Amino acid sequence: MRIEYSKVLIIMEIIGVMILLAILIATAYVYPTLPDRVPTHFNALGEADRWGGKGYLWFVPAMSVFLYLLITIAGFFPKTWNYPSKIDPSKLPLAEKKVRNLLMIVKLIITAMFGYIQYMILKLSGQISFLIMILFTAVLFGIIIYYIVSLSRLSVKAQRK
């Protein structure tokens, strides 16, 4: 089965790849100029509360690439996806499209969040804006909840009512 991508999904994919490249290029560019100790963890207020060697700077880009590839690969196997309820077979193509959209949006938000974290670490501000991290998290969970509700409406039970 060939997977169809809308123009919006293609643009989102391009933006996600550009963010990944920006994370990798910025890290490689700034790495030689950084001190030996860099922030490696931030508390709930966004303040650096753990410091470590600058080799840790490659953890965030590596995790970003890993998650991006994992979510991308998951998008190619719709038969393995779990839905919140049994989907009406006639609505399955629509459900798969919705999940593919969800995966793309989640992938973009996670990549942007990791990009922001890496930017703040490279900037060595020692502080990540708590409000921005709350915003990323709220948007991510809001979109997931929206899609769960949307997919539930395609269930076999919903069709009987």
Per-residue pLDDT of the chain (161 residues; tens, 9 = 90+): 566 778 888 898 999 999 999 999 988 988 888 888 888 887 877 778 888 898 888 999 999 999 999 999 998 888 888 887 888 888 888 888 888 888 999 999 999 999 988 888 887 655 556 667 778 888 888 888 888 888 888 776 655 55
Tell me the C-alpha to C-alpha distance, in Å, between residue 10 and each of 4, 68, 102.
10, 15, 14
pLDDT of residue 129: 65
Please indicate, yes or no, if residue 1 is contained in any of the structural domains.
Answer: no
Strand partners, 48: 42
Please indicate, yes or no, if residue 54 is contained in any of the structural domains.
Answer: yes
Helix (H) or strand (E) holding 156: helix 156-160
Please indicate, yes or no, if residue 101 is contained in any of the structural domains.
Answer: yes
pLDDT of residue 8: 87
If one counts the domains in the chain, the total is: 1
Please indicate, yes or no, if residue 2 is contained in any of the structural domains.
Answer: no
Please indicate, yes or no, if residue 129 is contained in any of the structural domains.
Answer: yes
- State residue 49 phi and psi, 5-degree precision: -125, 5
State both tokens at 86.
């049994």
pTM summary value: 0.77
- State residue 52 phi and psi, 5-degree precision: -155, -175
Helix (H) or strand (E) holding 50: strand 48-53
> Alpha-carbon distance 46 to 44, whole Å?
5
Please indicate, yes or no, if residue 38 is contained in any of the structural domains.
Answer: yes
pLDDT of residue 157: 65
State both tokens at 141.
């969970």
DSSP 127: B
Helix residue ranges per DSSP H, 1-49: 7-30
Structural domain containing residue 141: 7-160
Please indicate, yes or no, if residue 116 is contained in any of the structural domains.
Answer: yes
